[in-house]
Amino acid sequence: MRVKKLSLVIFLFTIFLVFSLAVQAADADLIAHYQFEGDLTDAESNFSDFKVTGDRIFNSGGKINFGQGKNGQAAVFDGSSGLFLAENLIDDYSYSIAFWLRADTINQFTTTFFAGLSDQESGIESWISFVPQGPSGRTMLWSGNNWYDADGNFKIPEDQWVHLAAAVDQGEVHFYINGTEHFRGSDFPDVFSEIEAKFALGVNYWDNPFEGKIDDLRIYDQPLTAEEVAELAAGAEKIEVKAETKVELDPQSVSVHDPMIIKENGSFYVFGSHLAAAKSEDLIEWKQVSGDWDASNPIIPNPEEELQETLAWPEPDAESTWAKSPIKIRAKDTNKYHLYFSSAHWESERSNISLAVSDNIEGPYEFDRILIRKYEEGQYSREAGENFRHQKHPGVIDPHVFYDKNGRLWMLYGSYAGGLHLLEMDEETGYPENYNPETGYLEEGSGYGKKLAGGGHSPIEGGYILYNPETDYYYLYMSFGTLAADGGYNIRVARSKNVDGPYLDPQGTDLREYDSGSWADAVNYGAKLIGNFVFEKSELGYLSPGHNSAYYDQSSGKSFVIFHSRYPGQGEYHQVRVHQTLFNQKGWPVITPHAYNGESLSAVSGETAVSGEKISGSYQFVNHGRNIQNGYKEINYSEEIKLNADGSISGEVRGSWKLIDDYFAEITIEGETYYGAFISQFDRGLAKEVMTFSALSDKGVTVWGSQY
């Protein structure tokens, strides 16, 4: 994974083990609020007052009165006047705008809220406009950059109060009318980052002024969620938000970013970014083997010197190494431990995957060679035999080297860019089969391997493939989103009968079809197994869990996912987590709600289809959904439900449940059925054993329950 520099100093982080899960009335991220209660002031006192203009944004004259509004008073626009505000109310690529309006008359192109710049001398046409009647004849959020139409597919009526809102997040745009989403799209222009924008109500540079009323204008410096917009449209004075949550860290865990697992000599090891590594005998208690990127690191001593060649490939030079893949090569004349890793820099388009070798699992490893390279856009790629294209060719980081069920060796790799790719490896050397040791490159024009998922800069990385002999499927685990606490990392899965695909999700969609950079489109691909959540009763939860590895234990038949996660209230600090994966009635993995503590699947009760004895009771319920979440704003907080002895579900969600055979679960919520399992687990927050369930729908949505 692509680890920020702050990870290098993460061990200096001071941990405060404090809990807080209160709900408070607050308008988080509200930077300007114009209520028009007889004046034009900002109730947040961050910006100057509106100034009255004439019939265009810079014309003098004009008059604004106040009349009965949606909430108290409102600004009254007479069709010949407008309001002008100082510059830079919004100055970045993530924001929200919300207000009430009541149009006396609706004319085509007339604006209500206008922001941006139109300058004939410089040729700048960078603006947005809320228009009751746009070019299509319908209400829309309109942008002058490339004429982007966020069409609401609906024309608001005259003489009625209507709530309009838009949320923009790095190109993803949502447009709402009366609290309902009417448009969702990607690639919305970055209007405000590079200009000193002008802001106005009721007027712009060209069109007839607005006639009607505007009330309760709010500007936020973050994208509001659909739920928050709905609150405003329902008349909320303030958005009710969760206070910052601090989740206790696990004293038995360690900090290894992008943990890739290997079992050797009876012990489990995880190797991660930089030169972090850790060791465990039971997957529960971990001990740090290495951490700091310095000369004394036992994995690769003197890394700046030892890895000079690979660090120099990016421009500027890489400052560390990223995700690693450890494996013991089985060839008789090799019997070496190979550590595959990536070198990259946040400011460089170039990266590579390299190899280090050791006789000992714990090192020291010696640099062997660079294996695969990524180039700048348009630079000639020897591997591809053509100029490098980021939308087509893979990001050369995040390797996973593994054996398939027939003993063939493969490398999976990739990040964003052209998607996840699979290369067959030479089992004797541990190099790609198409690698030429004389040139130090893949054979010219031989390619980067076979694409398995993504492309078009879709937000997928950290791929891992694991074969399960009980289901006879290969499972492709992936992380969608990005790694930071507010990056929305989440783990998804697809499966195939063949190691080289095609990999399909529960809906039967080939993951190669996700070939756009739109985060909004992610809802359509992969089974989402885990994302941001909080169990409120237990005071436990994760932010951006991701870059997992996976392990199948042949002796016990247990399967696990191993990943790093950040935590509510803990900033960018991260720890390793291990969760058991169970396989449902349809052969799909589901992740257990709590970290592994030695539990095993066992019969919940006899052979009855529904048992109230062990399962019935009160549960914390989480629906993980399918979207990529913004960490600070979009956490799936648990809801309180009851699984009743008669097989019904009551509380904040309603439905039914069944116990099938010994432990399989069927959970039906609002007509959607989820398939999974019941298992007793240790709840670290409540410090007791509880019954849990984890289940997955045919639409790729995971639900969890944890008794309390």
**Residue in this structure with the two tokens 């010219």, named with its chain if needed:** 444
Closest CA to 351 of 306, 391, 311, 300: 311
> Among 560, 511, 505, 551, which residue's Cα sits nearest to residue 528?
505
Identify which of 208, 250, 251, 216 has the alpha carbon closest to the alpha carbon of residue 233: 216
Residue with tokens 């390279």: 373
What's residue 558's pLDDT? Answer: 98
Given the residues 172, 461, 539, 666, select the one marked as catalytic. 461
The reported pLDDT for the residue numbered 138 is: 94
Burial class of residue 517 (count of CB atoms within 10 Å of its CB; 0-12, 13-18, 19+): middle
Query: Distance between CA 122 and CA 644 in Å, rounded?
Result: 68
Neighbours of 653 (CB within 10 A): 15
Helix (H) or strand (E) holding 303: helix 303-306
- Mean pLDDT, consecutive 10-residue segments, the chain of 708 residues? 39 33 54 96 92 93 96 96 86 94 96 90 87 93 87 94 94 93 89 89 95 97 90 91 81 98 97 98 98 95 98 95 96 84 94 98 98 96 95 97 98 98 95 95 96 96 98 98 93 99 98 89 94 97 98 96 96 97 98 98 64 82 92 84 97 97 96 98 98 98 98
Catalytic annotation on 461?
yes
DSSP string, 622-647: EE--SSPPPTTT--EE-EEEEE-TTS
pLDDT tens digits for range 159-213 = 999 999 999 988 889 999 999 999 988 889 999 988 888 999 999 999 999 999 9
Q: Where in the chain is the domain with CATH 2.60.120.200?
A: 27-242
Report residue 429 as tokens: 């050397």
* CATH 2.115.10.20 segments of the chain: 260-587
Distance CA 379, CA 480 (A): 28
If phi over 0 gives left and psi between -120 and 50 gives alpha, with beta otherwise, what is residue 58? alpha
Class of domain 617-707: mainly beta
Residues forming beta bridges with residue 339, ordered by sequence position = 326, 356
**Residue from 689, 6, 577, 651 nearest 247 by CA:** 577
Q: What is the pLDDT of residues 447-475, one digit of tens each?
A: 999 999 999 999 999 999 999 999 999 99
Q: State yes or no: is 319 an active-site residue.
A: no
Backbone angles phi, psi at 245, to 5 degrees: -100, 130
Report pLDDT for 696: 99
Q: Which fold is adopted by the domain 260-587? A: Tachylectin-2; Chain A (2.115.10)
Q: Which amino acid is at 81?
A: S
Cβ count within 10 A of residue 275: 26
Q: Give residue for tokens 């990607």.
A: 186
| Candidate list 258, 515, 536, 666, residue with the active-site label | 258
Q: How far is it, in rounded angstroms, from Cα 350 to Cα 354?
A: 13
pTM over 0.85: no
Instruction: Count Cβ atoms below 10 Å from residue 472 Cβ, excluding itself.
Output: 10
Domain with CATH 2.40.128.10 in the chain: 617-707
> First-to-last CA distance in the chain?
35
CA distances from 667 to 106, 167, 584, 653 (A): 49, 34, 12, 11
Alpha carbon of residue 255 to chain centroid: 20
What backbone phi and psi angles, to 5 degrees, belong to 524? -95, 0
Q: Are 325 and 423 in contact (CB under 8 A)?
A: no
Tokens (6 digits) for 173: 């745009």
Q: Residues with Cβ < 8 Å from 237, sequence gap 6 or more?
A: 71
pLDDT of residue 12: 31
Q: Closest Cα to residue 380, out of 390, 388, 372?
A: 388
Contact 701, 653 (CB under 8 A): no
How far apart, in whole angstroms, are the C-alpha atoms of residue 478 and residue 181? 29
Taking alpha carbons only, the member of 460, 511, 489 closest to residue 630 is 489
Identify which of 694, 669, 468 has the alpha carbon closest to the alpha carbon of residue 580. 694
For the chain, the maximum distance between any two Cα atoms, rounded to a whole number of angstroms, is: 89
Q: Which residues contact 30 (CB under 8 A, 6 or more apart)?
A: 44, 218, 219, 220, 239
What CATH number is given for 27-242 in this structure?
2.60.120.200
